[in-house]
Each structure stands twice: as C-alpha cells, then as structure tokens.
Copies of this chain bind each other. A is one copy, B any other.
Amino acid sequence: MQIKTLTVVGVGLLGGSVALAARRRNAAAQIIGVDPCPGVLDRARARGLVDEATPHLSEGVRQADLVIFCTPVDRIAGQVLAAALSCRPGTLLTDVGSTKAAIVREVRAELPGHITFIGGHPLAGSEKNGPENASPDLFKDRLVVLTPTHDAPSALLQRLSDFWQRLGARVRLMSPEEHDEALALTSHLPHLLASALAGLLPPELAELTATGFRDTTRLASGLPQLWEAIFLSNRDPLLQVMEQLESRLRLFCQALRNGDPRELHDLLLEGKVARDALNS
C-alpha cells in the first residue's frame, strides 16, 4: 500500500536515499523534507528528492502518515518526542539510527498513546554524505532491522515492513538489545578499528599503502560527529566486543612471539573461513 504523505527528517545521504527510493518505487504519493540546514534543503530540492521542504519539524510532520527520522542517533529520541506533539493521531514514526536500545527506551517513556514509534535500522550506508550522494538503490537487497516493542499495532508494523520491502530491502525483526549487541560487532567495532588503524599512519608512509590498507580503513572517512554518538549510545556492547578483539589480538601476539606457525595458521584459517562465508 502506498503511503500518502511521507516526511523525511534529516535529508542527508540516508534521508535523501529514502526519499529518492520512495519516489522511484512509488512508495509515497507526497514527500516532505525537514532539515534545519537551508543548504541541505536547497540541494535536496534541486535533486528533486522532495515535493516540499521546511526547516520546521512541527510544520513538516503535521500532515504525515509516516515520519522517518534520518538524523544522528543522539538527536532522534528528542526529535521523535517533539514531532509527536504536532502529529495527527495514528501517525507512524520510525528512524534509521544505527543503535536502537537507547532510542527506543527514551521514546517509549514519554510518547503519547495515540502515536506509534517503531525503531528501524537499514544496514546500508556509505562513508560519503549529503543529499548529493543519495542513491535510489541504497537499500536494494539490504537488510532492514525493525525493533518493535510488544505494544506496536501489528497493522502499523506490517505497513512499515511493506514500505521497506517496496524500497528493495529485506526486513528482519529483533529486540533493540539483540540488535545493538550484534551491530557492536558487525558495524561499530569495524568502524572503530578502521579509524584506529588509519590514525596510526604517518603521512610519509601514505605512498606505501596499497588496496589492502585502503579497504581495511575505508570506514575511517565517516563523519566523526555521527560515529562518536553511535559509539556512546552503544557503549557497553561495544566495550564488550573490544575485549573480545583484544583477546584475539593477544593470541596472535603470543603465536608471533613463540614463532609458532601452526597457531598462526589456525587463527588465520578461522578468519578466512568466516570471511569466505560472506561471499563477497
């Protein structure tokens, strides 16, 4: 079923891609963009991402059937609660934040009963940013995790699931906590490692990097302000997987110090088997 009015809050790379994908795939009849930055709204309009644009959240959500928050994770809960004051009863609110437990907890504590919020996270993105890098195929064949609480009306959950599938994505339901623990390992730790490794490179060694270093550190080009917020909002699970990594690095160190090819082989083979299984 097509959404009548879709409001996208935060028209950057993700928000712009949601708008563009929804338009190309007829998932929404009308698309309103909300962004505090006039330059971003101008660029979004110039690319035809939105039908209407406003810097005012209350104005942008008033007619919406579905509002999707594509803003940094430390802003989402506050914006959802602010928007709820201006929404019509029955409006469905969702987000694309990289962490879910803190957002869902904060929203749940204060959201009025006539408005529904269902947390979401499309496992798609880019180290690029801004509406000029938006892509209508960003979500194609990607997984979107939804984290409904048990009181979410099933008709609205179905509607949100349909929306994402119309954008080309697969949908999986998880609890917010289960999501955050998994993503600490599959997304936040890789980002942190890429950044830590890149941060060790002195400029004079740049010439001695090849595709290996570049691929391994690609994520380090992400915006620090987005990622510091993600790390902090998922602190405990992230610290936990950092400890797991540290243990594994210690095994490598030990095998190296002992000059033990057998142990190194076993460690490298486990990594290869896990990586080869991802098939790409």
Contacts and interface: CB of A to CB of B under 8 A. Distances in A.
Given A206-B277, A216-B190, A196 B249 contact: yes
A191 interface: yes
Chain A contact residues: helix, strand, loop or mixed: helix
Contacts of A211: 124-125
Interface string A180-208: 00110111011111111111110101111
Interface string A225-251: 101110110010011011011101100
Given A217-B190, A256-B239, A267-B195, A272 B222 contact: yes
A4 interface: no
B196 A245 contact: yes
Interface size class of A (residues with CB under 8 A): 35 or more
A265 B199 contact: no
Given A199-B274, A235-B256, A275-B198, A214 B267 contact: no
B257 A221 contact: no
A221 B276 contact: yes
A210 B187 contact: yes
B205 A187 contact: no
Given A200-B241, A206-B278, A220 B271 contact: yes
A268 B227 contact: yes
Contacts of A123: 208-210
A83 interface: no
Nearest to A179: B208
A212 interface: yes
A261 interface: yes
B249 A246 contact: yes
A36 to B, nearest CB: 20
A207 B143 contact: yes
Contacts of A222: 268, 272
A223 B269 CA distance: 8
Interface string A96-135: 0000000000000000000000000001110000000000
Given A196-B245, A228-B261, 12 more contacts: A123-B209, A182-B205, A186-B208, A192-B252, A193-B197, A195-B272, A196-B271, A199-B270, A206-B277, A209-B278, A214-B280, A215-B218
Which 10 A-B pairs give the minimum distances between C-beta atoms? Answer: A195-B271, A224-B268, A220-B275, A228-B264, A199-B271, A190-B216, A198-B271, A220-B271, A123-B210, A198-B275
